[in-house]
Amino acid sequence: MKNSRLTGVVMFMLAVTWSQCGQAAVSLDRTRIILDGKDKSVSVTLSNDDRHAPNLAQSWVTDADGNKTSALLVLPPLQRIDAGQKSQVRITQVRSLTDHLPQDRETLFWFNVRGIPPKPDEANVLQLAMQSRLKLFYRPASIMKKDSSDRPERRLVAEREGEHLTLKNPTPYYITVVWLGTQSSQRLNGFRNAVMVPPFGSLPVKAGLPVKAVQLWVGYVDDYGGLQMNRYTCDTRRCVLKGGAPS
């Protein structure tokens, strides 16, 4: 009983605190960013979803490990966005540095945006700066896709060893897998979170595919942030998409 009362008090205090928080409301127009090597820059639209107050938007790029990088610059790094308005930031490559990145595969970066609300007039109000992080892929000109129908992700292979799966990526692109299932509506046991398979790499996944399964549904995220579902055919060694992976 005592623990129950304590929990109730804590939840009430959190609710009151949350109701008194000043929250930033800066959102983006996409869920991933691709910078083609042939392009000098790529633009991203930021929106201030707060219709009553302006917000500051602070933007920067980090490498795959979260360290700040000089290879890609964000302009402007800090800007004010009026209530209910939109603005743009431009991510520009520094060719003297991007030329030293691998040219036979994508390089992963992170695009970070922190929304900072105005200082509240009231006392005892907690101000929260909300931060978003998007995957940013630098794609060298040598591996640019021909058009939207070019989907090398379909070449992803799922190798089997008993009930265990290893995803193998024979392409120069990062492949984000968000679904593994025996049906398009039945997820594999153990597969809970999206995984990202690196270029020319492999990744064991914590998911059990029944030994007798003859098909595997694989869902991956395309360049536009959309979900693409494909039905793979399985034998005792591996699961492949017909017409996708080489034999």
The helix/strand/coil state of 25 is: coil
Structure confidence by residue, pLDDT tens digits, 220-233? 999 999 999 999 99
Q: Domain 23-142: state its class.
A: mainly beta
Structure confidence by residue, pLDDT tens digits, 87-133? 999 999 999 999 999 999 999 999 999 999 987 766 666 667 789 99
Closest CA to 63 of 104, 110, 101: 110
pTM above 0.75, yes or no: yes
Task: Identify each DSSP E strand in the chain by its residue range.
Answer: 22-23, 26-28, 32-36, 41-48, 55-63, 72-75, 78-81, 86-93, 107-116, 127-128, 130-139, 157-161, 164-168, 175-183, 186-187, 195-197, 202-208, 215-221, 227-234, 238-240
Matching CATH number, 152-240, of 3.40.50.620, 2.60.40.10, 3.40.50.970, 2.50.20.10: 2.60.40.10
The pLDDT, as a whole number, for residue 242 is: 84
Structure confidence by residue, pLDDT tens digits, 28-55? 999 999 999 999 999 999 999 999 999 9
| Domain(s) of CATH 2.60.40.10: residues in the chain | 23-142, 152-240
The pLDDT, as a whole number, for residue 98 is: 97
